[in-house]
Amino acid sequence: MPSIRAKKIIPKQSPLDSSSAVASAMAAVGPSDGLNVRYRIQGGKPLKGTVDISGSKNAALPLIAGTLLCKGTVTMKNVPRLRDTATLLATLRFLGATVSENGTTVTINTDKVESKPIPHQFVSKLRGSIILLGPLLARFGEVEMAYPGGCVLGKRPVGTHILAFQQLGVEDLSTDSTLKLVGKPRGGEVILPEFSVTATENILLAAALMTEPVKIELAAAEPHVQDVCKFLANRGVKIDGIGSHSLSIQGGANRLPGNTHTVTSDYLEAGAFILAGLVTRGSIRLRNADRTHLISFLGAIGRAGGKVTCEKNGDILVNGAGSALKATRIQTNIFPGFPTDLQAPFGVLLTQAEGVSRIFEVLFDGRMAYLYELEKMGAHIEILNSHQALVIGPTTLRGRQVPSNDIRAGVAMVIAGLAAQGETVVTDVRYIERGYDRLEEKLKMLGADIIREEE
């Protein structure tokens, strides 16, 4: 991949700086990731009741970043209360934004934001901070940060983002320790090397302030990408092809107007609760879920014998007791295909299905590790390679101590614990709480015996 390393970077402020500004901004994030948090679950209880699905983390992060493009105050509603969103808001505070929070409503004013190097304290635990590249380049023509971190799910390089911006005339001056891009993006065509969600969102946000048109080919089309498109379109940016893999953007404003936006609901959280209701033989009503985001997933649920009904008012009903689970095959894919982020939770359901099921993970090579934990709980699994596995069921799951390997594997372990006999202890809960808003509270309201413990 081409890279220009014309000179050694001498940052205005070291990415490792531990200044009072960093400490002040990070104070709002909450306890350190070093805190040992775990869930203690007594399984075997059917979940019953109604649960409200929160806003999507994967939409909230680029939308929060998008406020950098806006003049005046932006009010964001239905923002999930997560460590990831708190970290990104802390980053905006560090850059000079004014942020106030009231439950799931966040107001942001970025008029006084400055372009300065973003230290590793903000980005090392949040890979989603890469979404700041687009709006900062659009507004200031320069962005510098430590390399983003987050969950380890196989190879997820930043090279796709760099290549995309290079196609719009941006210069890469990165070093081995610092990501730095320079130059205001120019109009043109971007052909992504993969269907990257965050790269698509980065180019969308960068293009919003350009006077020249931009076209993105092989764009991602997930619901959270569509929500970013709607956010921009409601502020005067012309976007053609929303929901497709070819987007045309015509911006042109120096800054976008503020106003209000409501974050779309989290279809990944909705899917997790549907699966939890089925494997516990429970009865759940989901509110604020969008079935159009779950078409492929709901099709797989139907093939597996799960009884799920979508009502006219938008609610989704889960009838676990009336379900006769049977083996099926799932293959992850880009939207509208089966979501990779629901593969691990669905794997738990397959342990309770009659027959031999096959899982084919197409997108990531590190997403099968949770299957070893299910084996510890009594599941009968044959891992064929890093992308394929067989699940032979049904098997009785028994409580064990299991880790959260990543956000989605973590919630899979919680679902397994809810279905298991005896006590399950899920460790490294900090991963889960990066992606699920008040999961423990919601499960308790549905009758789960779950306790959150901190050390």
As given in the structure block, the two tokens for residue 198 are 């965050």
Residues in a beta bridge with 256? 70
Per DSSP, the residues of 401-420 read EEE--SHHHHHHHHHHHHHS
Active site residue 151: yes
* Spatial separation of the C-alpha atoms in residues 368 and 365, rounded to whole Å: 8
Within 8 A by CB and 6+ apart from 10, the residues are none
- Predicted pLDDT at 12: 41
Please give the distance of CA 290 from its chain centroid, rounded to a whole number: 17
Inter-residue contact 145 to 118 (CB < 8 Å): yes
Q: Which of these, 438, 436, 450, lies nearest to 399 by C-alpha position?
A: 450
Measured CA distances, 251 to 67, 203, 239, 240 (Å): 15, 12, 9, 12
**pTM of the entire structure?**
0.91
CA 317 – CA 250 distance, rounded (Å):
41
The pLDDT tens digits for 72-89 are 999 999 999 998 999 999
Active-site residue identified among 70, 151, 229, 310: 151
Per residue of the chain (455 residues), give pLDDT as tens. Answer: 444 343 333 334 444 454 666 666 666 665 545 468 999 999 999 999 999 999 999 999 999 999 999 999 999 999 999 989 999 999 999 999 999 999 999 999 999 999 999 998 888 878 889 999 999 999 999 999 988 874 443 344 688 999 999 999 999 999 888 899 999 999 999 999 999 999 999 999 999 999 999 999 999 999 999 999 999 999 999 999 999 999 999 998 889 999 999 999 999 999 999 999 999 999 999 999 999 999 999 999 999 999 999 999 999 999 999 999 999 999 999 999 999 999 999 999 999 999 999 999 998 888 899 999 999 999 999 999 999 999 999 999 999 999 998 899 999 999 999 999 999 999 999 889 989 999 999 999 999 999 999 97
CB 316 within 8 A of CB 310: yes
Per-domain residue ranges for the chain?
Answer: 40-51+265-454, 56-262
Radius of gyration of the chain (CA): 22
Domains 40-51+265-454 and 56-262 equal at CATH topology level: yes
CATH classification of 40-51+265-454, choosing from 3.40.190.10, 3.40.1160.10, 3.65.10.10, 3.40.50.720? Answer: 3.65.10.10
Q: How far is CA 161 from each of CA 157, 166, 201, rounded to the nearest angstrom? A: 9, 9, 10
Contacts of 246 (CB under 8 A, 6+ apart): 215, 216, 217, 219
Superfamily assignment of 56-262 in CATH?
A: Enolpyruvate transferase domain (3.65.10.10)
Q: Which residues pair with 286 in a beta bridge?
A: 51, 316
**Which of 215, 186, 199, 207 is CA-nearest to residue 251?**
207
pLDDT tens column, 151-171: 443 344 688 999 999 999 999
